[in-house]
Amino acid sequence: MIQVCGFDGACVAVLGLGRSGLSAARSLRAGGAEVWAWDDNADARERATAEGFTVRDLSAPGALDQVAMLVVSPGIPHLYPAPNPIIAAAWAAGVPVDNDIGLFFRSLATRDWDRFDSLPRVIAVTGSNGKSTTAALIAHVIGVSGRAVQLAGNIGRGVLDIDPPGDGAVVVLELSSYQTELARALTPDIAVLTNLSPDHLDRHGGQGGYFAAKRRLFAEGGPDRAIIGVDEDEGRFLANQMAESPADDRLIRISAAGKLAGPGWSVFARKGFLSEWRKGRQVASIDLRPIAALPGAHNHQNACAAYAAARCLGIAPKQIEAAFNGFRGLPHRSQLVAERDGVRFVNDSKATNAASAAMALAAFPRVRWICGGLEKQGGLAPIRPHLGHVAKAYVIGREAASFALHLRDVPHEVCTTMAVAVARASAEAQPGEVVLLAPAAASFDQYDNFEARGADFIAEVERAGRA
Q: Give the strands of the sheet with 149-153, arranged side by side.
A: 149-153, 170-174, 121-126, 190-193, 225-229, 251-255, 265-270, 273-278, 281-287
Q: Annotated binding residue at 296?
A: no
Q: Annotated binding residue at 31?
A: no
Q: Annotated binding residue at 6?
A: no
Q: Annotated binding residue at 84?
A: no
Q: Annotated binding residue at 9?
A: no
Q: Annotated binding residue at 272?
A: no
Q: Annotated binding residue at 176?
A: no
Residues placed in the known binding site? 127-133
Residues placed in the known binding site for ATP? 127-133
